[in-house]
Structure 1
Amino acid sequence: MNEIVIKGVVGSWAVDPEDITYRLKNMDGDVLVPIDSIGGSVIAGIAIYNAFKEYNKGKITFRIMGVAASISSYIVLSGDSIEAYDNTTYMIHNASLPVQGDHHKLRKVADIAEGLSSIIAKAYASKTGLSEDEIKKLMDSETFYFGGEMKEAGFIDELLTTESNVTKAEAVAVSLEHLKACNNDVREHESDLSFEAIAKLLPQKVIINQVENKVVDLSAQQKRSRDLDILTEGTNL
């Protein structure tokens, strides 16, 4: 069986969507995807999700080896089935974008992040059978699932047993520490976030018009800001 391992932070500098897309194009047959990832770039995660969704040469099985959190918990939903060991963790929360700026820019970014969270919530709801409102409340609370809780909630299809005696509290504590490091990593590599990239990578069939408009509007605002900076540099104010 073909295998693609996802381990570490999701992003072009680590778990690269272009690499995964290339490998899938050169595969034929079923694919096993062992995953141990705390999350990472929303943009890269959406690209990876779409790459797996487009694969039509066999079935894709995700196997959670340690943790599937944040955008990685969305990525695994692109498979035909999801397995997880009983000592692993799954976490869902709202999308966030590593953006700096004034209150106008941040307000628009918040709208985009909310739209991205809505798209992700639809996938969670489809998998679990819960309503989108129920899922959004769980995302608002940054909800962790451990072991059998993942199966009970409907996020995975098969629970694999181990002899581990790791507790949920221990697993969540480790995940939170890794999440802090992951967020710092994303901020370092995506400080100059491209909103055109977000518009390009959103699944076209489920794009929320409001989100798409916000992306276009914010991109135009960024261009106006750059033009103003250039003009200002040419003055003696």
Structure 2
Amino acid sequence: MEKRKFWVFQRGDPKEETILRLDGPIAKESWFGDEVTPALFLSELESHPGDMTVWINSPGGDVFAASQIYTMLMDHKGKITVKIEGIAASAASVIAMAGGEVLMSPSSMMMIHNPETSAYGWKDEMEKALDILDEVKESIINAYELKTGLSRHKISRLMDDETWMNAKKAKELGFCDRLLFTGDDEEEEADEEAQEGMAFAARKMMSTVLNKISADAVLAKKEEEAGSDEKADNLEETGTKYKELTKRLELLRH
């Protein structure tokens, strides 16, 4: 019986980039311990060289299947762009980390949590299962850390809490680079221009203040040298003598 695939490769024009769609549970029927399914996925991937956009809508599934797909995509020679259209939860979020750029629909979600399994047997066997889960968690953290730049402790806490992220939250934490359909690029460029404008305004204001202080200092020095009692009284009333102004000027410049 033909195996039911959760992936579809699409490419109309050979000159266009390939579309890979991952829909539904990852390896719903079989993957781990099965040489056929991973080999089939890899053969199809290798037959589509070049840039690729991976659309993900999956609640997760087999962590080992996700790990292998993640590795295959990371090793792919073309650029990998991931777009999350509905949900990338659990194991599917690991696959999403293979994107050189990860984009999420404004209405999509991402979820990360600790790995889980079922086990039975004696105490030693249970303890071994716990050790395996700890190591699986560390391997997942490796992928998240590489993409987000977050500390391992931070990622571990997020997984402990079973963290659900909307697109903006995922972007804030580094799991997502941009939002689809929102013109993020234009907004970021506008923000950068605004910051540059504010920096320029601040520099201009500082320059004006320094020039004003310098002019006041020169005037005060001339008045002191001229021995003008009236001007000296006025300067004393305001507490702005030449030496004080000069001192302030040097502090501002540094």
Q: Indicate the TM-score class for this superposition, using the shorter chain for normalisation.
A: 0.5 to 0.7
Q: Count how many residue pairs are aligned between Structure 1 and Structure 2.
A: 161
Report if aligned partners of 1:12, 1:18 keep a CA contact under 8 Å in 2. Answer: no
CA distance in 2, matches of 1:100, 1:40: 21
Residue matched to 1:204? none
User: How large is the Cα RMSD of the aligned pairs?
Assistant: 1.8
- Give 1:157's aligned amino acid: D
CA distance in 1, matches of 2:20, 2:66: 15
Structure 2 length-normalised TM: 0.60
How is 1:47-126 mapped onto 2 (pairs within 5 angstroms)? 47-56=68-77, 58-126=78-146
1:45 is aligned to 2:66: yes
Q: Assess, with a 3 A threshold, how the Cα gap between structure 1 residues 101 and 43 changes in structure 2: closer, same or farther.
A: farther
Report if aligned partners of 2:104, 2:176 keep a CA contact under 8 Å in 1. Answer: yes
1:3 is aligned to 2:19: yes
Q: State the shift of 1:12 in Å.
A: 6.0
1:154 is aligned to 2:194: no
How is 1:195-234 mapped onto 2 (pairs within 5 angstroms)? none
Report if aligned partners of 1:86, 1:147 keep a CA contact under 8 Å in 2. Answer: yes
CA distance in 1, matches of 2:53, 2:134: 32
Residue matched to 1:132? 152
Q: State the shift of 1:54 in Å.
A: 1.6
Deviations 1:150-175 (A, max 9, x none): 1111111110137xxxxxxxxxxxxx
Q: Assess, with a 3 A threshold, how the Cα gap between structure 1 residues 14 and 159 changes in structure 2: closer, same or farther.
A: farther
Q: Which has the larger radius of gyration?
A: 2
CA distance in 2, matches of 1:39, 1:68: 7
Report if aligned partners of 2:28, 2:61 keep a CA contact under 8 Å in 1. Answer: no
- Give 1:22's aligned amino acid: S
| Percent identical | 35
CA distance in 2, matches of 1:101, 1:5: 39
The secondary structure found in structure 2 opposite 1:137 is helix
Q: Assess, with a 3 A threshold, how the Cα gap between structure 1 residues 102 and 161 changes in structure 2: closer, same or farther.
A: farther
CA distance in 2, matches of 1:19, 1:114: 30
For structure 2, the 5+ residue unaligned runs are 1-16, 32-36, 183-254
The secondary structure found in structure 2 opposite 1:110 is helix
The secondary structure found in structure 1 opposite 2:140 is helix
Q: Which has the higher contact order (CA 8 A, sep 6+)?
A: 1
The secondary structure found in structure 2 opposite 1:4 is strand
- Give 1:45's aligned amino acid: A
Q: Which moved more, 1:135-144 or 1:10-19?
A: 10-19
Structure 1 length-normalised TM: 0.64
Report if aligned partners of 1:82, 1:157 keep a CA contact under 8 Å in 2. Answer: yes
Deviations 1:85-134 (A, max 9, x none): 01000011111223333322121011111111011112212222211011
Report if aligned partners of 1:11, 1:17 keep a CA contact under 8 Å in 2. Answer: no
CA distance in 2, matches of 1:7, 1:98: 25
For structure 1, the 5+ residue unaligned runs are 163-237
The secondary structure found in structure 2 opposite 1:36 is strand
Residue matched to 1:24? 45
